[in-house]
Every structure is written in structure tokens, then in C-alpha cells.
Amino acid sequence: MSVRILALVGSLRAGSHNRQLAEAAVKLAPEGAEVNLYEGLAEIPFYNEDIDVEGSVPAAAARLREAANAADGLILFTPEYNGTIPAVLKNAIDWLSRPYGAGALSDKPVAVVGTAFGQYGGVWAHDETRKSLGVAGGKVLEDVKLSIPGSVTRFAETHPADDAEVAQQLTEVIARLHGDISEPAAA
């Protein structure tokens, strides 16, 4: 049986370099791992406890929770917006963190990667995303990092899947996540 990894992308732009990076992950997934790119983050309303009521959770949020519950692990691809995590990705984490203590992220292995135009490749956003995922109950792989700088120039004419260095690094990230899911550390 294949390990199912759900990919969430923090940029809604169709030509987003982080979306391209997620597409590369789908393509580069090693044998025994299946990376599924989630569509629909833009349709999810901002988290509000008043609408997060059993039996009447908004359909878009319910679909996200179902996809995350069906996954063995997650990989989040995030750009850096004003030095932090994009609202659409933070909102997804908020929905996945509920119900408290039993959300779709609870004890699920999660990795955070991405690319940004700046010289550090979105490190601040990636750190904030890891922090938020950990608080939300995810089992964050803190030592699995990939922050690719200079996205606008680096990927101007090359898809991340066709960049040998990026492809190798991304494959290593997915392999580490796959390994953590397949052989969790002894408690």
C-alpha cells in the first residue's frame, strides 16, 4: 500500500512557483509514496467557531478535513508574504486543527518547504508555518527543510521539476516524510 501525502500550497496564483514546486513533488514522489495536490483552499471561509458546528461545517472546509484525514502525512508549500505565512495556508491549518485535540493534523507527520523571491527563500514563513502546525497538533519534521531563494529568477524559464538541484532536494524531503510515516520512531 502506498503512503498518501497531501500537498497544500499557500499561493493561489495559477503560475505560482510554490504550486510548481508542489507539482514537482507529485511527479518526483518515490515508489511507495503518492503526493496529492489539494485544490480548493481559496473556497474555504475564514475559520470561525460559529460556523464550525457539527452537521453544518462549510462544504469546502469539510472536504479539506476529509482529504487531510485520509492522508498519512502532509507537505506544505509556502511562499513568504510580508515576512510570514500566507493567510490561505494559516486558515487551512486553523480548520485542520479542530476539533481541539482531535483535528486532522493530530500526530500526523508534516513537512514545510517552499520558495520565495528573497535571498532566504521564505525561511520566516516556513518557520512560522512549522510553529503553527506544531501548535495545531501536527508532528512537524523540524529538521526537514527546503527554502529556495530567488524564485522569480531561478524559475523564470525552468520548472522546479527540471532543476536538478531542486528535484534532488525535494525528492529527499518527500523520502524523509515517507520514511517517518512508514517507520515512526519508537515512543
| pLDDT in the model for residue 120 | 87
| pLDDT in the model for residue 184 | 66
| pLDDT in the model for residue 183 | 79
| pLDDT in the model for residue 187 | 46
pLDDT greater than 70 at residue 42: yes
- C-alpha cell of 54? 457539527
**Mean pLDDT of all residues in 53-58:** 94
| pLDDT in the model for residue 186 | 47
Task: Provide the whole-model pTM.
Answer: 0.95
